[in-house]
Amino acid sequence: MTNQDVVSPAPSAPARPPVMADVARAAGVSHQTVSRVLNGFQWVAEPTRLRVMEAVERLGYRRNMAARALASNRTNVIGVVVVNPNLFGPSGALLGIEQAAREAGYWVSVASLARVDAAHMTAAVDHFRDQGVDGTVVIAPNQLALDASAAAVGSSPAVMLTASASDAHPFPSVDIDHEAGARLAVGHLIGLGHQRIAHFAGPRVEFHAQCREQGWRVMLKRHGLKPGPLLRGSWEPDAGYQLARALVDRPGERPTAVFVANDLAAIGALRGFAEAGWRVPEDISVVGFDDVPGVGQLRPPLSTVRQDLSELGRQAFGLLLGVIGGQAEPGHLALPPQLVVRDSSGPAPAAS
């Protein structure tokens, strides 16, 4: 062969991307077991699941979602409509839904609505339909959002994350038991000897505000105590501040404790009482609701009611999977909250 006789090597075939059978062979399991792991089924043994996922990572296996959707008529994508996404409850529930969905091999498409009307809700749900989502979770804080979402969703798979336990809509629903949480807060104050317990309520149209106010009323009635005073505001710290100053200036018998409808408003209330010279908890005890990050570092640390928003999101996603699979019935699931006692609540001051 001369220097001019150069033989080019035959082009090598492009590397074939790994398929599910390759993963099964590498992990020493069946094709069906790999499918179960990748689709989030819970009854696969943990060592087997870990072995499959290690093989997936080592081989760089990626599912062909378009082909899978055509074969199964599923996209493994769900839609979530979030009203008031800047608030602690909706944002925390959304994170819980997303985490549960990812663990089950689903993706989440989110539509955030700052305000609710039929047109905006319909546009959000129609957008999900265009994406071919398998189902929808609607975080509905009030009756307008609930009615608009129920009309927009129609007969497609859906779950309502809402405190309303009404049978007026055909969808399964889930939320924290906010009335039970309020009963815990007020019962705690009554147990400390308080008989004059005020309430700083949230917006009248919000289900959470309605439930928390109802829990306050129920506990006072149960113990033969007169309700009041009740002052109504918003969920914001400034509202709590303004209500605290209004309570300080209010004529008549002075309360010894206040149950505030949420922690942000309670933060404002602490400042309002401090500026007026009311000591917490020596002069007035304060209990909030939510257990937002940081309230344990206030001065004094805030007693509150904790809602497990991560579990709430998981339950909402689990209900939706049941609806998609035709296994869920209409009904309402209420998750228990937890009382967190800190230094902002103390024994009722002695009568002067």
What is residue 115's predicted lDDT score, i.e. its pLDDT? 76
10-residue mean pLDDT profile of the chain (352 residues): values are: 50 65 90 76 79 88 56 77 90 95 91 86 90 93 92 92 82 96 98 97 96 98 94 97 96 93 98 97 98 96 97 95 85 96 96 62
What is residue 187's predicted lDDT score, i.e. its pLDDT? 98
Rounded to two decimals, the pTM is: 0.80
What is residue 41's predicted lDDT score, i.e. its pLDDT? 62
Of residues 255, 241, 185, 251, the one with CA closest to residue 213: 185
Indicate left, alpha or beta for 181 from its phi (over 0: left) and psi (-120 to 50: alpha): alpha
Beta strands in 134-177 (DSSP E): 135-139, 158-161, 173-176
Q: What is the CA radius of gyration of the chain?
A: 27
Of residues 303, 196, 200, the one with CA closest to residue 257: 196
What is residue 70's predicted lDDT score, i.e. its pLDDT? 43
What is residue 323's predicted lDDT score, i.e. its pLDDT? 92
Contact 348/195 with Cβ under 8 angstroms? yes
Convert 167-181 to b/e letters by CB count within 10 Å (16 or more is b): eebebbbbbbbbbbb
What domains, with CATH codes, occur in the chain? 75-176+308-336 (3.40.50.2300), 178-307 (3.40.50.2300)
DSSP alpha helix (H) spans, the chain? 20-27, 31-38, 46-59, 65-72, 88-103, 118-131, 143-153, 178-191, 207-222, 237-248, 263-275, 309-324
What is residue 170's predicted lDDT score, i.e. its pLDDT? 83
Contact 101/42 with Cβ under 8 angstroms? no
DSSP 11: P
